A = this chain, B = another copy of it.
Amino acid sequence: MKACILSIGDEILSGSTVDTNSNFIAQKLKSIGIAVSEIRTISDDMEVIKNALQQGFQKNDLIITTGGLGPTRDDKTKMAFVEFFGDELVFDEATFENLRQIFKQRNREHLLELNRPQAEIPKSAHIFLNDYGTAPSLLMQKDGKTAICLPGIPSEMKALMRTKIIPHLKNEHQLNFIISRTLTLVNIPESLLAEKIEAWELALPKNLSLSYLPIGNRIKLKITGLGENGREVKTQISDEVEKLHPLISENVISWNGESITEIFATAVFNSGLTLSTAESCTGGEIAKLITSIPGISPFFKGGIVAYETAKKVEILKVSQQTIDTYSVVSQQVAQEMSEGCRQIFDTDIAISTTGVAGPMSDEDGNEIGTVFYSIRVKDFEITKKLFLPHYERKDFMAFVAQKTLQDLVEILTLGKNR
Protein backbone atom coordinates (compact mmCIF):
# COMPACT_ATOMS: atom_id res chain seq x y z
CA MET A 1 0.00 0.00 0.00
CA LYS A 2 1.42 3.38 -1.03
CA ALA A 3 0.54 6.78 0.31
CA CYS A 4 1.00 10.42 -0.56
CA ILE A 5 0.93 13.22 2.02
CA LEU A 6 -0.46 16.62 1.07
CA SER A 7 0.48 19.49 3.30
CA ILE A 8 -1.85 22.36 2.54
CA GLY A 9 -0.86 25.86 3.50
CA ASP A 10 0.67 29.02 2.13
CA GLU A 11 2.56 29.55 5.38
CA ILE A 12 4.80 26.58 4.53
CA LEU A 13 5.37 27.69 0.91
CA SER A 14 6.33 31.18 2.05
CA GLY A 15 8.88 29.79 4.49
CA SER A 16 7.05 31.01 7.63
CA THR A 17 6.50 27.54 9.01
CA VAL A 18 8.55 24.36 8.87
CA ASP A 19 6.39 21.40 7.88
CA THR A 20 6.84 18.95 10.76
CA ASN A 21 3.40 17.37 10.30
CA SER A 22 4.46 15.34 7.26
CA ASN A 23 7.34 13.88 9.19
CA PHE A 24 5.04 12.66 11.97
CA ILE A 25 2.51 11.24 9.51
CA ALA A 26 5.25 9.47 7.50
CA GLN A 27 6.62 7.87 10.67
CA LYS A 28 3.20 6.66 11.81
CA LEU A 29 2.31 5.29 8.37
CA LYS A 30 5.62 3.51 8.18
CA SER A 31 4.98 1.90 11.56
CA ILE A 32 1.99 0.07 10.06
CA GLY A 33 3.75 -0.80 6.82
CA ILE A 34 2.48 1.97 4.55
CA ALA A 35 5.25 3.47 2.42
CA VAL A 36 5.06 7.16 1.62
CA SER A 37 5.97 7.72 -2.03
CA GLU A 38 5.69 11.49 -2.02
CA ILE A 39 5.11 14.50 0.22
CA ARG A 40 3.70 17.61 -1.45
CA THR A 41 3.21 21.02 0.05
CA ILE A 42 0.66 22.97 -1.93
CA SER A 43 -1.21 26.21 -1.81
CA ASP A 44 -4.55 26.72 -0.04
CA ASP A 45 -6.32 26.88 -3.39
CA MET A 46 -9.36 24.86 -4.44
CA GLU A 47 -8.14 23.91 -7.93
CA VAL A 48 -4.63 23.14 -6.73
CA ILE A 49 -5.93 20.85 -4.00
CA LYS A 50 -8.28 19.03 -6.39
CA ASN A 51 -5.47 18.55 -8.90
CA ALA A 52 -3.16 17.19 -6.24
CA LEU A 53 -5.83 14.70 -5.14
CA GLN A 54 -6.24 13.64 -8.77
CA GLN A 55 -2.50 13.19 -9.31
CA GLY A 56 -2.00 11.58 -5.90
CA PHE A 57 -4.55 8.86 -6.68
CA GLN A 58 -2.78 8.01 -9.95
CA LYS A 59 0.12 6.42 -8.08
CA ASN A 60 -1.15 5.89 -4.54
CA ASP A 61 -3.91 4.09 -2.69
CA LEU A 62 -4.08 6.57 0.15
CA ILE A 63 -3.80 10.34 0.44
CA ILE A 64 -3.52 12.08 3.78
CA THR A 65 -3.88 15.85 3.88
CA THR A 66 -3.18 18.28 6.72
CA GLY A 67 -4.18 21.90 6.95
CA GLY A 68 -6.80 24.14 5.45
CA LEU A 69 -9.65 23.00 7.73
CA GLY A 70 -10.09 26.15 9.82
CA PRO A 71 -13.25 28.25 9.95
CA THR A 72 -11.81 31.14 7.94
CA ARG A 73 -12.06 32.21 4.33
CA ASP A 74 -8.54 31.04 3.44
CA ASP A 75 -9.22 27.42 4.40
CA LYS A 76 -10.30 25.42 1.37
CA THR A 77 -9.61 21.75 2.01
CA LYS A 78 -13.11 20.62 2.99
CA MET A 79 -14.74 22.24 -0.05
CA ALA A 80 -12.05 20.77 -2.30
CA PHE A 81 -12.93 17.31 -0.92
CA VAL A 82 -16.64 17.98 -1.51
CA GLU A 83 -16.04 18.93 -5.14
CA PHE A 84 -13.43 16.25 -5.84
CA PHE A 85 -15.66 13.48 -4.50
CA GLY A 86 -18.81 15.02 -6.04
CA ASP A 87 -20.51 15.23 -2.66
CA GLU A 88 -22.48 17.87 -0.75
CA LEU A 89 -22.31 19.31 2.78
CA VAL A 90 -24.86 18.30 5.38
CA PHE A 91 -25.15 19.41 8.98
CA ASP A 92 -23.86 16.72 11.35
CA GLU A 93 -25.40 16.60 14.82
CA ALA A 94 -22.62 14.52 16.46
CA THR A 95 -19.91 16.87 15.20
CA PHE A 96 -21.86 19.88 16.47
CA GLU A 97 -22.29 18.21 19.86
CA ASN A 98 -18.53 17.61 19.98
CA LEU A 99 -17.97 21.29 19.19
CA ARG A 100 -20.34 22.23 21.99
CA GLN A 101 -18.31 20.16 24.47
CA ILE A 102 -15.05 21.75 23.34
CA PHE A 103 -16.42 25.29 23.66
CA LYS A 104 -17.89 24.41 27.03
CA GLN A 105 -14.51 23.20 28.32
CA ARG A 106 -12.97 26.45 27.16
CA ASN A 107 -15.75 28.63 28.62
CA ARG A 108 -16.46 29.96 25.18
CA GLU A 109 -20.00 28.76 24.58
CA HIS A 110 -20.96 32.19 23.21
CA LEU A 111 -18.76 31.41 20.18
CA LEU A 112 -20.43 28.12 19.32
CA GLU A 113 -22.82 29.48 16.70
CA LEU A 114 -20.00 31.24 14.89
CA ASN A 115 -18.32 27.85 14.43
CA ARG A 116 -21.48 26.12 13.20
CA PRO A 117 -19.99 25.71 9.66
CA GLN A 118 -17.37 23.40 11.19
CA ALA A 119 -20.18 20.89 11.75
CA GLU A 120 -21.13 20.82 8.06
CA ILE A 121 -19.71 17.59 6.72
CA PRO A 122 -19.65 15.92 3.28
CA LYS A 123 -22.56 13.48 3.24
CA SER A 124 -20.55 10.35 2.42
CA ALA A 125 -17.60 11.09 4.72
CA HIS A 126 -16.57 8.89 7.59
CA ILE A 127 -15.98 11.27 10.53
CA PHE A 128 -13.24 11.05 13.14
CA LEU A 129 -14.20 13.55 15.86
CA ASN A 130 -11.46 15.92 17.01
CA ASP A 131 -11.24 15.95 20.81
CA TYR A 132 -9.01 19.01 20.94
CA GLY A 133 -10.18 21.36 18.19
CA THR A 134 -13.04 22.42 15.95
CA ALA A 135 -12.19 20.61 12.71
CA PRO A 136 -12.93 16.87 12.54
CA SER A 137 -10.91 14.51 10.37
CA LEU A 138 -12.78 13.14 7.36
CA LEU A 139 -12.28 9.98 5.33
CA MET A 140 -13.69 9.74 1.81
CA GLN A 141 -13.37 7.08 -0.89
CA LYS A 142 -13.50 6.78 -4.66
CA ASP A 143 -12.68 3.82 -6.94
CA GLY A 144 -11.27 1.88 -3.98
CA LYS A 145 -8.87 4.69 -3.03
CA THR A 146 -8.97 6.61 0.21
CA ALA A 147 -8.34 10.24 1.15
CA ILE A 148 -8.25 11.49 4.72
CA CYS A 149 -8.06 15.14 5.73
CA LEU A 150 -6.60 16.23 9.06
CA PRO A 151 -6.32 19.64 10.72
CA GLY A 152 -2.96 21.39 10.44
CA ILE A 153 -2.50 22.22 14.13
CA PRO A 154 0.15 19.69 15.16
CA SER A 155 -1.26 18.70 18.56
CA GLU A 156 -4.73 18.05 17.07
CA MET A 157 -3.35 16.23 14.04
CA LYS A 158 -1.08 14.03 16.18
CA ALA A 159 -3.84 13.06 18.61
CA LEU A 160 -6.15 12.15 15.71
CA MET A 161 -3.43 10.11 13.94
CA ARG A 162 -2.42 8.22 17.05
CA THR A 163 -5.83 7.47 18.52
CA LYS A 164 -8.08 7.23 15.45
CA ILE A 165 -6.54 7.16 11.97
CA ILE A 166 -3.76 4.63 12.53
CA PRO A 167 -6.01 2.15 14.40
CA HIS A 168 -8.60 2.54 11.62
CA LEU A 169 -6.11 1.92 8.80
CA LYS A 170 -4.59 -1.03 10.63
CA ASN A 171 -8.01 -2.52 11.05
CA GLU A 172 -9.22 -1.99 7.47
CA HIS A 173 -6.20 -3.07 5.45
CA GLN A 174 -4.00 -6.08 5.36
CA LEU A 175 -0.61 -4.52 5.17
CA ASN A 176 2.91 -5.39 4.16
CA PHE A 177 5.62 -4.79 6.73
CA ILE A 178 8.35 -2.22 6.25
CA ILE A 179 11.12 -2.75 8.75
CA SER A 180 14.21 -0.66 8.97
CA ARG A 181 17.28 -0.48 11.12
CA THR A 182 19.81 2.29 11.33
CA LEU A 183 23.49 1.94 12.18
CA THR A 184 25.46 5.06 13.09
CA LEU A 185 29.14 5.42 12.26
CA VAL A 186 31.81 7.98 13.06
CA ASN A 187 35.36 8.72 11.95
CA ILE A 188 34.88 7.39 8.44
CA PRO A 189 34.03 9.34 5.28
CA GLU A 190 31.04 8.24 3.23
CA SER A 191 33.13 7.33 0.20
CA LEU A 192 35.46 5.06 2.20
CA LEU A 193 32.55 3.40 3.97
CA ALA A 194 30.88 2.73 0.62
CA GLU A 195 34.03 1.10 -0.68
CA LYS A 196 34.51 -1.01 2.45
CA ILE A 197 31.03 -2.52 2.28
CA GLU A 198 30.57 -2.58 -1.49
CA ALA A 199 30.67 -6.36 -1.86
CA TRP A 200 28.25 -6.78 1.03
CA GLU A 201 25.89 -4.15 -0.43
CA LEU A 202 25.82 -5.76 -3.88
CA ALA A 203 24.97 -9.12 -2.32
CA LEU A 204 21.97 -7.84 -0.33
CA PRO A 205 18.68 -9.74 -0.86
CA LYS A 206 16.35 -8.05 -3.36
CA ASN A 207 13.79 -6.99 -0.73
CA LEU A 208 16.39 -5.10 1.32
CA SER A 209 17.69 -1.67 0.40
CA LEU A 210 20.44 0.53 1.77
CA SER A 211 20.80 4.26 2.21
CA TYR A 212 23.60 6.51 3.47
CA LEU A 213 22.78 9.68 5.34
CA PRO A 214 25.59 11.92 6.55
CA ILE A 215 24.56 14.14 9.48
CA GLY A 216 27.06 16.42 11.13
CA ASN A 217 30.17 14.27 11.08
CA ARG A 218 28.49 10.94 11.50
CA ILE A 219 26.92 8.65 8.93
CA LYS A 220 23.61 6.90 9.31
CA LEU A 221 23.52 3.64 7.39
CA LYS A 222 19.94 2.54 7.03
CA ILE A 223 18.78 -0.89 5.95
CA THR A 224 15.13 -1.13 4.95
CA GLY A 225 13.28 -4.34 4.25
CA LEU A 226 9.85 -5.12 2.84
CA GLY A 227 7.88 -8.30 3.28
CA GLU A 228 4.66 -10.03 4.24
CA ASN A 229 6.12 -11.46 7.42
CA GLY A 230 7.55 -8.80 9.72
CA ARG A 231 9.51 -11.21 11.86
CA GLU A 232 11.19 -12.76 8.81
CA VAL A 233 12.26 -9.36 7.49
CA LYS A 234 13.65 -8.45 10.91
CA THR A 235 15.69 -11.65 10.99
CA GLN A 236 16.93 -11.02 7.45
CA ILE A 237 18.16 -7.56 8.48
CA SER A 238 19.78 -8.90 11.65
CA ASP A 239 21.63 -11.50 9.59
CA GLU A 240 22.96 -8.84 7.25
CA VAL A 241 24.02 -6.62 10.17
CA GLU A 242 25.92 -9.60 11.58
CA LYS A 243 27.93 -9.81 8.36
CA LEU A 244 28.82 -6.13 8.71
CA HIS A 245 30.33 -6.55 12.18
CA PRO A 246 33.89 -7.50 11.15
CA LEU A 247 33.94 -4.78 8.47
CA ILE A 248 32.93 -1.67 10.39
CA SER A 249 32.79 -2.39 14.16
CA GLU A 250 35.46 0.10 15.09
CA ASN A 251 33.43 2.96 13.61
CA VAL A 252 29.96 2.06 14.88
CA ILE A 253 28.59 4.03 17.83
CA SER A 254 25.11 2.60 17.50
CA TRP A 255 23.83 -0.62 15.91
CA ASN A 256 20.21 0.42 16.19
CA GLY A 257 18.91 3.95 16.68
CA GLU A 258 17.81 7.01 14.82
CA SER A 259 18.63 10.43 16.30
CA ILE A 260 21.77 11.26 18.25
CA THR A 261 19.52 11.88 21.26
CA GLU A 262 18.18 8.33 21.01
CA ILE A 263 21.70 6.91 20.63
CA PHE A 264 22.88 9.04 23.53
CA ALA A 265 19.98 7.79 25.69
CA THR A 266 20.98 4.15 25.09
CA ALA A 267 24.62 4.87 25.94
CA VAL A 268 23.76 6.72 29.16
CA PHE A 269 21.19 4.14 30.30
CA ASN A 270 23.74 1.38 29.71
CA SER A 271 26.46 3.28 31.57
CA GLY A 272 24.33 3.99 34.64
CA LEU A 273 26.28 7.24 35.11
CA THR A 274 24.76 10.55 36.23
CA LEU A 275 25.33 13.78 34.33
CA SER A 276 25.04 17.56 34.34
CA THR A 277 25.73 20.46 31.97
CA ALA A 278 27.33 23.91 32.11
CA GLU A 279 26.53 25.86 28.96
CA SER A 280 27.48 29.20 27.57
CA CYS A 281 27.23 29.47 23.79
CA THR A 282 24.81 26.53 23.49
CA GLY A 283 22.49 28.41 25.85
CA GLY A 284 20.57 25.45 27.27
CA GLU A 285 20.32 23.39 24.09
CA ILE A 286 22.32 20.47 25.48
CA ALA A 287 20.14 20.33 28.61
CA LYS A 288 17.06 20.56 26.42
CA LEU A 289 18.20 17.66 24.20
CA ILE A 290 18.95 15.55 27.26
CA THR A 291 15.66 16.32 29.00
CA SER A 292 13.72 15.51 25.84
CA ILE A 293 14.60 11.85 26.54
CA PRO A 294 11.82 9.94 28.31
CA GLY A 295 13.14 8.26 31.46
CA ILE A 296 16.25 10.44 31.81
CA SER A 297 15.32 11.83 35.26
CA PRO A 298 17.38 9.38 37.36
CA PHE A 299 20.50 10.22 35.30
CA PHE A 300 20.32 13.96 34.56
CA LYS A 301 20.64 16.10 37.68
CA GLY A 302 20.52 19.53 36.06
CA GLY A 303 22.44 22.26 34.31
CA ILE A 304 23.64 25.84 34.47
CA VAL A 305 23.37 28.29 31.60
CA ALA A 306 26.17 30.68 32.58
CA TYR A 307 25.65 33.19 29.83
CA GLU A 308 27.10 36.32 31.39
CA THR A 309 30.83 35.97 32.10
CA ALA A 310 30.36 37.00 35.75
CA LYS A 311 28.01 34.05 36.30
CA LYS A 312 30.73 31.63 35.20
CA VAL A 313 32.78 32.94 38.12
CA GLU A 314 29.99 33.31 40.68
CA ILE A 315 28.10 30.09 40.02
CA LEU A 316 30.54 27.72 38.33
CA LYS A 317 33.59 28.97 40.27
CA VAL A 318 35.70 29.56 37.18
CA SER A 319 38.68 31.63 38.33
CA GLN A 320 38.70 35.26 37.21
CA GLN A 321 42.43 34.91 36.63
CA THR A 322 41.89 32.09 34.13
CA ILE A 323 39.43 34.28 32.24
CA ASP A 324 41.81 37.26 32.28
CA THR A 325 44.74 35.15 31.13
CA TYR A 326 43.16 32.95 28.48
CA SER A 327 39.89 34.84 27.66
CA VAL A 328 36.45 33.44 28.32
CA VAL A 329 36.45 31.39 25.11
CA SER A 330 39.34 29.07 25.87
CA GLN A 331 40.22 25.49 26.68
CA GLN A 332 41.02 26.45 30.27
CA VAL A 333 37.66 28.09 30.92
CA ALA A 334 35.80 25.13 29.35
CA GLN A 335 37.71 22.80 31.68
CA GLU A 336 36.98 24.84 34.79
CA MET A 337 33.32 25.10 33.81
CA SER A 338 32.94 21.31 33.54
CA GLU A 339 34.78 20.84 36.83
CA GLY A 340 32.57 23.41 38.60
CA CYS A 341 29.50 21.79 37.10
CA ARG A 342 30.46 18.31 38.25
CA GLN A 343 30.94 19.60 41.78
CA ILE A 344 27.69 21.55 41.97
CA PHE A 345 25.58 18.67 40.70
CA ASP A 346 27.76 15.88 42.10
CA THR A 347 27.58 13.83 38.89
CA ASP A 348 29.85 11.30 37.15
CA ILE A 349 29.71 13.17 33.84
CA ALA A 350 29.78 16.91 33.12
CA ILE A 351 29.67 18.70 29.76
CA SER A 352 30.57 22.36 29.26
CA THR A 353 30.62 24.76 26.31
CA THR A 354 32.06 28.24 25.81
CA GLY A 355 32.14 29.96 22.43
CA VAL A 356 31.02 32.72 20.13
CA ALA A 357 27.73 31.99 18.33
CA GLY A 358 27.72 35.33 16.56
CA PRO A 359 26.57 37.44 14.80
CA MET A 360 29.38 39.53 16.44
CA SER A 361 32.83 38.56 17.67
CA ASP A 362 33.15 38.75 21.46
CA GLU A 363 34.94 41.52 23.37
CA ASP A 364 38.20 39.54 23.37
CA GLY A 365 38.13 39.29 19.60
CA ASN A 366 37.42 35.56 19.49
CA GLU A 367 36.16 34.74 16.05
CA ILE A 368 32.53 33.90 15.39
CA GLY A 369 32.04 30.17 15.21
CA THR A 370 34.76 29.33 17.73
CA VAL A 371 33.81 27.01 20.55
CA PHE A 372 35.61 24.98 23.20
CA TYR A 373 33.82 22.16 24.96
CA SER A 374 34.94 19.95 27.77
CA ILE A 375 33.61 16.52 28.69
CA ARG A 376 34.42 14.87 32.02
CA VAL A 377 33.66 11.24 32.75
CA LYS A 378 34.84 10.68 36.32
CA ASP A 379 38.62 11.29 36.23
CA PHE A 380 38.84 11.42 32.46
CA GLU A 381 38.60 14.79 30.73
CA ILE A 382 38.80 15.86 27.11
CA THR A 383 38.53 19.35 25.61
CA LYS A 384 37.85 19.95 21.95
CA LYS A 385 37.78 23.05 19.82
CA LEU A 386 35.47 23.59 16.86
CA PHE A 387 35.51 26.40 14.34
CA LEU A 388 32.29 26.74 12.35
CA PRO A 389 32.23 30.22 10.83
CA HIS A 390 29.76 29.28 8.09
CA TYR A 391 26.99 28.21 10.51
CA GLU A 392 24.10 30.49 11.38
CA ARG A 393 23.58 31.15 15.07
CA LYS A 394 20.84 28.56 15.65
CA ASP A 395 22.52 25.91 13.52
CA PHE A 396 25.78 26.57 15.37
CA MET A 397 24.09 26.01 18.73
CA ALA A 398 22.36 22.86 17.50
CA PHE A 399 25.51 21.43 15.89
CA VAL A 400 27.68 22.01 18.96
CA ALA A 401 25.04 20.55 21.29
CA GLN A 402 24.70 17.39 19.17
CA LYS A 403 28.45 17.10 18.77
CA THR A 404 29.02 17.08 22.55
CA LEU A 405 26.44 14.29 22.91
CA GLN A 406 28.03 12.37 20.07
CA ASP A 407 31.52 12.70 21.58
CA LEU A 408 30.21 11.49 24.91
CA VAL A 409 28.64 8.48 23.17
CA GLU A 410 31.98 7.75 21.48
CA ILE A 411 33.75 7.89 24.85
CA LEU A 412 31.16 5.63 26.48
CA THR A 413 30.96 3.08 23.65
CA LEU A 414 34.26 3.10 21.74
CA GLY A 415 36.49 3.91 24.72
CA LYS A 416 38.27 6.97 25.98
CA ASN A 417 41.37 6.89 23.86
CA ARG A 418 39.76 7.75 20.60
Q: Please list the residues of chain A having a beta carbon within 8 angstroms of any beta carbon in chain B.
A: 7, 9-20, 22-30, 35-44, 70-75, 108, 111, 114-115, 131-132, 153-155, 158-159, 180, 182, 189-192, 194-195, 201, 209-214, 220, 222, 224, 258, 277, 279, 282-288, 290-292, 294-295, 297, 300-308, 311, 315, 344-345, 357-360, 388, 390-395, 397, 399
Contact = CB atoms under 8 A, between A and B. Distances in A.
Contact of A222 (B11, B30, B159): B11
Nearest to A113: B191
A345 B311 contact: yes
B291 A114 contact: no
A68 to B, nearest CB: 11
Q: Is the interface of A mostly helix, strand, loop or mixed?
A: mixed
Contacts of A302: 304-308, 311, 315
Contacts of A209: 74
A110 B27 CA distance: 39
B297 A307 contact: yes
B304 A311 contact: no
B287 A154 contact: no
Contacts of A392: 158
A39 B6 CA distance: 10
A393 B294 contact: yes
Given A11-B211, A38-B42, A23 B18 contact: yes
A44 B12 contact: no
Nearest to A41: B39
A16 B222 contact: yes
Contact of A294 (B17, B18, B111, B358): B358
Contact of A30 (B14, B70, B358, B397): B14
12 contacts: A11-B213, A13-B26, A13-B37, A15-B27, A16-B182, A19-B19, A22-B41, A70-B214, A284-B287, A291-B357, A294-B358, A294-B393
A397 B131 contact: no
Copies of this chain, tallied across the complex: 2
A285 B288 contact: yes
Given A11-B211, A287-B305, A291-B307, 18 more contacts: A7-B39, A10-B224, A14-B27, A15-B23, A15-B30, A16-B213, A19-B23, A38-B42, A39-B41, A40-B40, A108-B189, A131-B390, A132-B390, A155-B395, A287-B287, A287-B307, A300-B307, A302-B315
A186 B154 CA distance: 19
Contacts of A39: 7, 12-13, 19, 40-41
Contacts of A12: 23, 26, 39
A177 B12 CA distance: 19
A35 B15 CA distance: 10
Contacts of A44: 211
Contacts of A304: 302-305
A192 B114 contact: yes
A143 B291 CA distance: 53
Contact of A192 (B17, B111, B158, B224): B111
Contact of A291 (B19, B108, B397, B399): B397
A23 B17 contact: yes
Q: Which has the most chain B C-beta neighbours within 10 Å: A30, A38, A191, A390?
A: A191
Contacts of A393: 292, 294
A38 B41 CA distance: 6
Contacts of A210: 73-74
Given A15-B30, A258-B16, A294-B393, A305 B308 contact: no
